Amino acid sequence: MEDNRLPADVLTSVMSRAATGPRAACIAAMVSPAFRSAADSDTVWSRFLPADLAPLVYPSPPPRSKKELFLRLSGTHVLLEDGLTSAWLHRETGAKCYMVAARAMHIVWGGSPQWRWIPRQDSRFPECAELLAVCWLDFSGSIESRMLSENTRYAAYLVFKMDDDCYGLDSPLQVASIYIGQDEISSHPVRLQNNIGNEQNDGAEEGAAPRLPMERPDGWMELEIGEWDNHGGEDKQVCARVRETTYGGNWKKGLILQGFEIRPKN
């Protein structure tokens, strides 16, 4: 049957059920003018927007359609009212994503002269935490599970940079863990700084090679802390933590923390 024989409201209703995600809607819009009209409708794109959009600041000027609103919220981040959390929508799925600033994290000795707070123009937040000198690392950040999209597999990533004169962050290995409530659901060895020659000892005691950081398109580094399934229906705290299990190890310097990011696991 030709699509132009279907009433517009029927085609829109069918499209709203058949389009499984934003990508599918965009593909359908290329089929024909009638499909484009249905695929671009507010009825279809409302399905990809979270029901609780209130925490997200509506972009200015006001969007002309639900599709435009989705594309804006998935194309850039917006700061929430606390100024310490940025939010956006995952373009592939419409799931909610967040970055929590270092200021909102718990950093052992973060309020001492061992750390300092510095402004950076390439950060989403007014301040980042810069490590000056400690012999033991332990920092964590948390978010309420009710803020996340239901039935979504998420991953948390530490977002950071290194000073040119950084040292001591390659040894001993760190441990990255995810907690839901009081339960630790994942734990992996990681290495914030990877230097040539570390490979011989990587994972010798843990039984697995450590995860290493990767460079992001925005120039920062990210290190996967762990992943979990957010089923919904619960109101628990999700905590992402990176720490050294050996107290009083090497002295270290030069780590710059922007925060940690939570987004759907690809």
CB-neighbour burial class of residue 258 (10 A; exposed 0-12, middle 13-18, buried 19+): buried
Beta strands in 84-232 (DSSP E): 85-89, 96-101, 106-107, 115-118, 128-131, 138-144, 152-167, 174-180, 183-190, 214-215, 221-230
pTM of the model: 0.86
Token pair recorded at residue 220:
């920062």
Name the stretches of the chain with pLDDT < 70: 1-20, 24, 28-29, 32, 53-60, 195-207, 233, 249
pLDDT tens-digit map of 151-199: 999 999 999 999 999 999 998 899 999 999 999 999 999 999 986 555 5
Under DSSP, is residue 157 helix (H, G, I), strand (E, B) or coil?
strand
For 125-140, write each residue's pLDDT tens digit: 999 999 999 999 999 9
Indicate the CATH number for domain 96-198+208-264: 2.60.120.260
User: What order of strands is seen across the sheet that includes strand 183-190?
Assistant: 106-107, 138-144, 237-244, 174-180, 183-190
Note the residue count of the chain: 266
Q: Are 201 and 191 spatial neighbours (Cβ–Cβ below 8 Å)?
A: no
Q: Count of CB atoms within 10 A of residue 211's CB? A: 16
Residue 202 CA: distances (Å) to CA of 112, 137, 157, 170, 196: 32, 18, 21, 10, 11
In the chain, where are the structural domains located?
Answer: 8-78, 96-198+208-264
Using an 8 Å Cβ cutoff, are 170 and 198 in contact?
yes
The whole-number pLDDT of residue 36 equals 72
Predicted pLDDT at 203: 47
Buried b (16+ CB within 10 A) or exposed e, 220-250: bbbbbbbebebeeeeeeebbbbbbbeeeebe
- Helix and strand tally (H, E) in the chain? 5, 14
Predicted pLDDT at 22: 76
pLDDT reported for residue 1: 43
